Chains A and B, each alone.
Chain A
Amino acid sequence: MKYFALILLILSFNSFGSICDDHQDFEKIAVLNKGRVKPYFVAAKEFTKAITSKSKISNIDTNKLFCLVSMNDYESIKAQINIKVEHFELKKFLGLADSDLFINIEQALEKKELVRSEIMGQKENNSYKKALNKFWFKANTFEKATKGELWTVYQKSDKQSEQKYTWQPISNFKEISTPQLLEENSYFKKNNENTIDIETTYAKSNIFTYAMLIALIAIILTVMRKSASIGFAAGWILIITEAIGMTFRVLISGRAPITNMYETVLFSGFGALFIALIIYIFKRDKLFILGGLGYNILCLFMMRFADGMLSESISPLVPVLRDNFWLSTHVTTIILSYAALALSWMLANMTLIKGRFGTLSSKDLRYYEDLIYTAIKVGIVLLAAGIILGGVWADYSWGRFWGWDPKETWSLIVLLFYMAILHGKSTPWVNTRRFINLSAAGFMTVMMAWFGVNYILATGLHSYGFSEGGAIFLGVFFISQIVLIILANIKVKTRA
């Protein structure tokens, strides 16, 4: 009897509360959620992000947070789990003050059903309804997690047969210890080819933060030093760093790293720098390196700080995109063309700003025009090729070369815009100054085709990556770009 009590005591120590303290030991175990097998570490990070909109919460490790929530034992940390509430009407509905940005998870769970019926009462699918839906979804995800449904464990389902395994929610295990977890996981490793270890390494490496640092140093060096060679070398280091990061993603997902907005932004930054460095070899102008690095760091900033709009998680693809050959050729070509056009946009804006703060002779202007023209040439040839590859893919998998789908149509609009400028160059309508202005403005059509179709038009067959913040981001971009062009030209006119 005494021993029995002792065993009970040990067992209870080993159970719920304490297992979460050894989270470091099991952060590499495989978890199946949201349609993909991933390391516990990544699942925990994604969960934290999904609920709190933050990648990190002060004082609490995301591993521990996910563990405690899955064990339904989060009393001690619940004060720190908050859901972000941005929509004005939603704040009012939840009884928050206008200045409040967050609601505690406990209140959120209490309000969940009320929110549900509020959703039912909405006739129109407006931003309020979307905010309600988003909120409900978060609360519901959290509730699922407390039932242990998000942390699934690979387990032998049939004691007799060695072959049968299923994914069971952690709540199905009455008392599970870390060694037991690791043992179950060893079956997974034995039975499946997997990239869990690679993914853990990738997720913990923060490689793109380092890339950002390199980019920053490279820009400073390029601006400070007269010779471009240091910037050129730093540019290649950055290219290699980003290539390593992308290779990780390719190994994990088994497909080209261009399947969501996060990846396309990354790839365009990479592509623009790459194209800039190549052009530099021929044209020997530091401005190319600066433009490439500048655009690259903008992309890294977006990936890091616009994480509400760009999700870094790797998710399953919609069936129609599951063709590695076409995906890698068509999307890569298109994004590379956007990258080259982005380079022309950077150069055009740099010229405009330069003209605003200093004077540019018409010879200077013609020189810059030539630089921009070089980038645009690369861009439109790649774009034309990309559009046609897309048409061939569509023909091959949907049976039509062209269907006026908004994504297709907008990529054609981009091509037409640049074609109009290039043809216009041979008429008196587009002189050097106008060419520079139009090249700066032209990137707005690229942004519309790239982001606007998903975030503003939000319809059609290319239905990946929708988000709310996108429309605001685009609006801000358009306005800033127009203001920049206007300011640059007012100066020019008063001088003349």
Chain B
Amino acid sequence: MQSLFKSLRKIERTFGSMKFAVTIITIFMFALIYGTFMESYHGAEFANRLVYKSLWFMGLQLLMFCSIIVATYLRFPLKKRLYGFYTIHSGLIILFIGSFVTYINGIDGSLELIPNTPARKIVIDKDFLKVSIQSENKSIKFPLPFGAFGTKLDGKYKNLIKLKEFLPSAKLITKWEKTDFIPEAIDHGSIYTIFNDNVSQEFTMSLNPSSDFKSSTRLGPLTISYMPHNLYECFTAESKSGFIIWDTAANNCYTAEQKNIPVIKTSKDNEFIAFKNGNEILKFFPNFSPLPVNDDLTKKMDSSFRVFSRKLFQDKPNLFLFGDKFAFYKKRKKRWIGKKFSEKEKIHKLPWMGFKLRLLEHRDRMVPYQTPIYSRPIQDSGKIVDGDVKAVKVEVKGKEYWVRSDAPLALNNGKTEIRFQLTKDDIKLPYQITLKRFKMDTNPGTNDPASYESFVDLLDGRNNSPATEHHVFMNNPLKYDEFTFYQASYFQVGPNVWGSAFSVNYDPGRPLKYAGSLLLVLGAIWHYFLRRKKKKTTKV
């Protein structure tokens, strides 16, 4: 008993000592400096995950709290000289408790309002993996850890789904996978760079529907289309009509001239061709649509034939890529030009604005896909420019997949569908808020916002009163029930239509924090100014 008492005393002395206080304040200060620099390089969320909301930082705060408590305890019984000291330290203790209450019970979320659409969902910044299993009509939410780095997960659902890994921040890299997609002509992918002296852009293309990449893209006025590789011959062949017929079933193509299909002009000067496929006669107006038309001029969707009119792509800059070959129309020479990439010629000139095209990679029977790898987010001028993807690796029936925050995953085995989605946590309000009008004032003569204001209706179904009107703007929040709604920002919904974003907050620690703050400031004034004066007067 005696020794226990002794060691308690010892602990008290250590925690309550000035040296301990100075040490913990200094360590805390350096942790904060580290945090602000991490914030600057990697953004607020990463800094929160790494420092401010991490376990070790909580530990530091706990040590500081202990130091304050023990130091105050050691200075009892009350001494008149120390009244200021007691006030400051009890203020700090109350402030700490208030913050802790906020941390445990507080709610900090956001509410997005689209004009005239009732909203009641508060989104909270807490990551979840949501899994929906269609056949069981079931939806499960797995919480994800709040760490700064990649973490192993051990969540699972029956023997069907296992969670493997969570990347709180990641960037996407391109990888290739073997496929056996049919028709073979479209089963390939390529990576190119298009560049001139001023710009350079890398892009990956694929026609495979399972790929993450698109088959067409735009670069200013230039349209780039990725095509089945066997269409190259037709695009570059001599053809007066410029009509290319593509038989998707037989997987080949020819020009109208090659098959001696005549081009007929209608009375309104529209070009028209028709040919026989077996017993069926197919009619096309290729300048309007590549699909054949029925007798009543509606589009015939089920045909395997397509007729392209090359002329449509002659006026504006159009680049057609066929994997390791490409074609474009040269206005000056008035003809279609085809070029091939080879070991010797990896770069070709394009006829627009000094652009050049480089083939970085081309693979047949392969599909490019994106996969996340861990990367700290990179912040530049206040914006996250890289590493802004979150991803969870899941295992379903022995096979691994990535679920990304920018791309939900849906698995379908014919019988049932399982959907995976990375989402934020949310709370449903027992009442609804509708944005009636959003008003943004700008500084005169500029487009910089001077103020933004939301006019909302609040309808509470719990009492039978009619909707109440509220005006929420910067520095003028709406308080209702236990929540406070603040005008935070705005977003564009459509042309000239703006939505409003509120931040929503419930803070049970608020009174404690305010009381603690007040005590702290009053105590500081007392301790540093009034105490001295008293001393002097007593001396006199």
Contact = CB atoms under 8 A, between A and B. Distances in A.
Q: Do A and B bind each other?
A: yes
A323 B475 contact: yes
Contact of A319 (B48, B197, B380, B474): B474
A36 B200 contact: no
Interface stretch (A45-53, A58-66, A182-190, A393-401): A393-401
B52 interface: yes
A426 B18 contact: yes
Contacts of A429: 19, 22
> Which one of B446, B452, B510 has the greatest number of beta carbons of chain A within 10 Å?
B446
A117 B197 contact: yes
Contacts of B451: 319, 322
Given A33-B445, A463-B382, A396 B477 contact: yes
B475 A381 contact: no
A232 to B, nearest CB: 22
A329 to B, nearest CB: 12
Given A319-B449, A388-B521, A399-B503, A120 B198 contact: yes
B44 A377 contact: no
Contacts of B36: 406, 409-410, 413, 453, 457
B517 A392 contact: yes
Nearest to A383: B524
Nearest to B453: A319
B38 to A, nearest CB: 10
A402 B510 CA distance: 11
Given A35-B444, A392-B517, A457-B39, A401 B507 contact: yes
A322 B475 CA distance: 8
Interface in B11-30: 18-19, 21-22, 25-26, 28-29
B37 A398 contact: no
B461 to A, nearest CB: 25
Contact of B382 (A34, A37, A459): A459
A22 to B, nearest CB: 25
Interface size class of B (residues with CB under 8 A): 35 or more
B525 interface: yes
Contacts of B488: 398
B47 A121 contact: no
Contacts of A121: 197-200
Nearest to B28: A416
A456 B514 CA distance: 32
> Which one of A384, A400, A401 has the greatest number of beta carbons of chain B within 10 Å?
A401
A417 B198 contact: no
A377 B524 CA distance: 9
Contacts, number: 162
B504 interface: yes
A456 B510 CA distance: 33
A171 interface: no
A395 B39 contact: no
B213 to A, nearest CB: 21
A420 B529 contact: no
A81 to B, nearest CB: 24
B432 interface: no
A426 B380 CA distance: 44
A395 B520 CA distance: 18
Contacts of A207: none
Interface string A406-441: 100110110011011001101101100000000000
Given A316-B443, A381-B524, A381-B529, A392 B514 contact: yes
A375 to B, nearest CB: 11
Contacts of B521: 381, 384-385, 388
Contacts of B445: 32-35, 152, 167
B35 interface: yes
A258 interface: no
A175 B507 CA distance: 63
A19 B380 CA distance: 47
A18 to B, nearest CB: 28
B380 to A, nearest CB: 5
Nearest to A323: B475
B452 A319 contact: yes
A261 to B, nearest CB: 18
Interface of A: 32-37, 117-118, 120-121, 123, 125, 152, 167, 316, 319-320, 322-323, 326, 377, 380-381, 384-385, 388, 391-392, 395-402, 404-406, 409-410, 412-413, 416-417, 419-420, 423-424, 426-427, 429-430, 453, 456-460, 463
In order of increasing CB-CB distance, the 7 nearest A-B pairs are: A35-B443, A399-B505, A117-B198, A457-B40, A416-B29, A388-B517, A316-B443
Given A416-B25, A420-B29, 17 more contacts: A35-B443, A117-B198, A121-B200, A167-B444, A316-B450, A319-B474, A385-B521, A398-B486, A404-B52, A409-B39, A410-B32, A413-B36, A424-B18, A424-B22, A427-B19, A460-B39, A460-B382
Interface of B: 18-19, 21-22, 25-26, 28-29, 32-33, 35-37, 39-40, 43-44, 47-48, 52, 99, 102, 108, 197-200, 379-382, 442-446, 448-452, 474-475, 477, 484, 486, 488, 503-505, 507, 510, 513-514, 517, 520-521, 524-525, 528-529
21 contacts: A32-B444, A35-B445, A121-B199, A167-B445, A316-B448, A319-B452, A320-B475, A377-B528, A381-B521, A391-B513, A399-B108, A399-B477, A401-B510, A404-B44, A409-B39, A416-B26, A416-B28, A419-B25, A427-B22, A457-B36, A463-B382
